Structures are given as C-alpha cells and as structure tokens.
Chains A and B, each alone.
Chain A
Amino acid sequence: ETGVTQSPTHLIKTRGQQVTLRCSSQSGHNTVSWYQQALGQGPQFIFQYYREEENGRGNFPPRFSGLQFPNYSSELNVNALELDDSALYLCASSLLTGLEQYFGPGTRLTVT
C-alpha cells in the first residue's frame, strides 16, 4: 500500500454540475499531482501543487482547479461538468524533487 488515499471511490454527476475530489498524501510528501485517465488511455497530467500553490499545469481548462492544504492533502474541483470529464481521476504524492510518485487508487467519475 502506498498510503495515498482518495475519496470518494465512485461518483455520478450530471452535466453542468460541480464536483470535488479529495486526496490524502503519503506521509512526508509535500507535493501532490492530479491526473485524468480516460478509459483505455494513459493518465494525463492536470496540475501539481507544492506548498499550497499550483506549481505546474497541463492542458486543462480553468474549470479544473485545485487546492492543497497545510497537511499536504489536496482537492480537485471541476466546474460545469461535461460528458468528456468522465474518467478515473488519480492523485499522486511525492517530494518536489525526485522521480518516485505514489498514486492513489483513483476516483471514478461518471458524468451523465
């Protein structure tokens, strides 16, 4: 077990709604990254948070936003949900420098 937890496990939302996904980092890790994994695809980098600030962003629109808290846990918020947002959302914790990222089990979001 990596120690990275995510909640909820599954979520069903309607197009246009907003959703918040949560992630608890592995102990000692100060950086959280979020990825979107569509069915049958590899994960795509959404953004990364370090010391409560966004430290990098992939090719995702502003309706994808996040937070990191002083205890290094994190939230991913998605506004105005679209059908294409249906995916597995993964968070990964790590140190800022270093290649070892530890992924959580993901939250499966279905938008209908």
Chain B
Amino acid sequence: QKEVEQDPGPLSVPEGAIVSLNCTYSNSAFQYFMWYRQYSRKGPELLMYTYSSGNKEDGRFTAQVDKSSKYISLFIRDSQPSDSATYLCAMSYNNAGNMLTFGGGTRLMVKP
C-alpha cells in the first residue's frame, strides 16, 4: 500500500463547477501538506501548503486537512478550462519540506 493515495481520475467537469480533489495517507507523522499543479510536459507548480489540520484559502482554491481521518482536500471554485491539469498532493514530516512524498496525481479536465 502506498503512503499517499490519490484517485487518478480523469475527473471531467463543466466550466464553473466546484471541483473537489482528495488524498488519503497512512503515516500520521506527516505534518505539512501541499498541493501541486502539473501541466502536461511541465514540472509541478506549488499551489498551496498547510500545516496540521484546518483550512486555508487562496483565491479560488481552498485546502483542507483532517489529520484525525488522514484525509486532505483541495477545492477549486468557479473552475476554468485553464485549471485542466494533473493535481498532486504532497506531504512532509517537517518544515524542511524538501523530501516530499507525493500522491499519484488526479487528472482534471474542465470543459468549456
């Protein structure tokens, strides 16, 4: 079993929809949680990071962490075709967050 699980999708939604992307993890030692977006043939781009449980909002994006359930989510409001990409969750044991453990990624397609 992988340490971080993520539904590979693809997830197809109409433009303007609210998108929910999720990851589960098995190691309770993870303290920092990140979401990356990866466009085709590009490197991952950091969207947001959160520490421990709770919510964090940045524009159309909201990250949510539930450590008791070992479950994290990323919500995208008013989704746009430009949001079409693969979304990767990643986790770290400490704030020297260089040694990341990634999920497998969820491919999102937002249709005009």
Find out whether the CB atom of B46 lies under 8 angstroms from the CB atom of A101. yes
Dominant SS among interface residues on chain A: loop
Binding site for A on B (CB under 8 A): 4, 6, 8, 32, 34, 36, 41-46, 49, 88, 90, 92, 95-105
Chain A interface, number of residues (Cβ within 8 angstroms): 29
Cα–Cα distance between A35 and B100 once the two chains are bound (Å): 9
Find out whether the CB atom of B98 lies under 8 angstroms from the CB atom of A48. yes
Other-chain contact of A101, B4, B98, B101 (Cβ < 8 Å)? B98
Of chain B, the residue at the smallest CB distance from A48 is B98
Cα–Cα distance between A42 and B90 once the two chains are bound (Å): 9
Binding site for B on A (CB under 8 A): 2, 4, 31, 33, 35, 40-45, 48, 55-56, 58, 90, 92, 94, 96-106
